[in-house]
Amino acid sequence: MLAVTKLFNKSENMAAIPVSDTRNWLRSVAERRDRHAFEQLYGYFAPKIKGYMLRQGADDASADDLAQETMVQIWRKANHYDPQKAAVSTWVFSVARNLQIDRMRKHKFYEVALNGDTSSNVENLQHNEQLEDCPDTDRLRKLIGELPEEQMDVVQLAFFEGLSHSEVSCRLSIPVGTVKSRLRLAFGKLKLGMGEQI
C-alpha cells in the first residue's frame, strides 16, 4: 500500500528526443497544420499522456481514449502555446491535466493565464527562430533529479496519483503538515535552483 513506484525512467531513452524537436513539431502544427509533425508529437507524447491517465486511475481503454482526446486538443489549441512562457511539456501537461479533471473528476477547473501577451502566439513562434529554451528545462530536470526521495514521493503522489494533501497524508501515514512541508522544501529547492526571485 505504501509503495510509490518510481516513475522516472533512468534508462534515458527520452534523451534521444531534444526539447527543441517537440517545439518545432508543435510550431509546424500551429503554423502549417502539419500532420506529419503532429504524428511525431503523438509518438512522443501520447504514450506518456496515457501513462499519466493510468496513474490517475483510468483503466487501460479509458486512458487510451483520454490520451487520444488530449492529442486532438493539442492539435486544435496548438496556436495557444507560447514558447517564450513555457516548455512544450508544460503546456501538454496542462492540456492533459485539464481534460483529466473534466472527464474523471467531472468538475470545472479555473486556470489563470500564465502568459503575458497572448494576442498572437503564432507571431511569437515565428519571431523566435533562434530558439532558446525559455524555461531552462535541462536545469529543472537536474534539480528534480536531485530531490530527496521522500520529497519526490510526495510530489509524484500529488502530480500523478492526483492525491490532495490529506490523501497523500493518508497514503504515506504521515501528518498533513509533513506532506506540506515536504512539498515546500522540494519547491524551495526548485525556486532556488532556477534562480527565481520568488
Partner 1 sequence: MKINHHADDATIMAYAAGTVSEGFSLVLTAHMELCSHCRERMSLASDLGGELLSELEPAPMSQEGLSNVLSAIEADTLDPVTPFKSPSVSGEMASILSAYVPHGLDELPWQSLMPGVRQYQLAGIESGNGSVRLLSISPGIRIPHHTHLGGELTLVIEGAYEDEIGHFKAGDLADLDASCNHQPVAVGNRPCICLIATDDKLRFTGLLSRMVQPLIGI
Residues 68 to 107 in contact with partner 1, rule: CB under 8 A: 68, 71-72, 75-76, 79-80, 85-94, 96-98, 100-101, 106-107
Residue 2 or 78 with smaller CB distance to partner 1: 78
CB of 127 to partner 1, least distance (A): 15
Q: Which residues contact 29 (CB under 8 A, 6 or more apart)?
A: 37, 38, 41, 74, 75, 78
Question: Is residue 9 part of the contact set for partner 1 (CB under 8 A)?
Answer: yes
Considering only 111, 126, 146, 148, the residue that binds partner 1 (CB under 8 A) is: 111
Distance (Å, rounded) from C-alpha 31 to C-alpha 34? Answer: 8
CB of 174 to partner 1, least distance (A): 14
CB of 141 to partner 1, least distance (A): 6
Closest CA to 172 of 184, 158, 190: 158
Contact status, residue 49 vs residue 92, Cβ threshold 8 Å: yes
CB of 130 to partner 1, least distance (A): 21
Burial 122-145 (b: 16+ CB within 10 A, else e): eebbeeeeeeeeeeebeebeebee
Residues 146 to 165 in contact with partner 1, rule: CB under 8 A: 155-156, 158-160, 162-165
Site string for partner 1, 35-54 (x = CB under 8 A): x--xx--x---xxxxxxx-x
Question: Is residue 66 part of the contact set for partner 1 (CB under 8 A)?
Answer: no
Distance (Å, rounded) from C-alpha 178 to C-alpha 26? Answer: 40
Closest CA to 19 of 38, 35, 41, 34: 41
Question: Is residue 178 part of the contact set for partner 1 (CB under 8 A)?
Answer: no
Question: Is residue 24 part of the contact set for partner 1 (CB under 8 A)?
Answer: no
HSE (CB half, 13 Å, CA atoms) of 185? 15
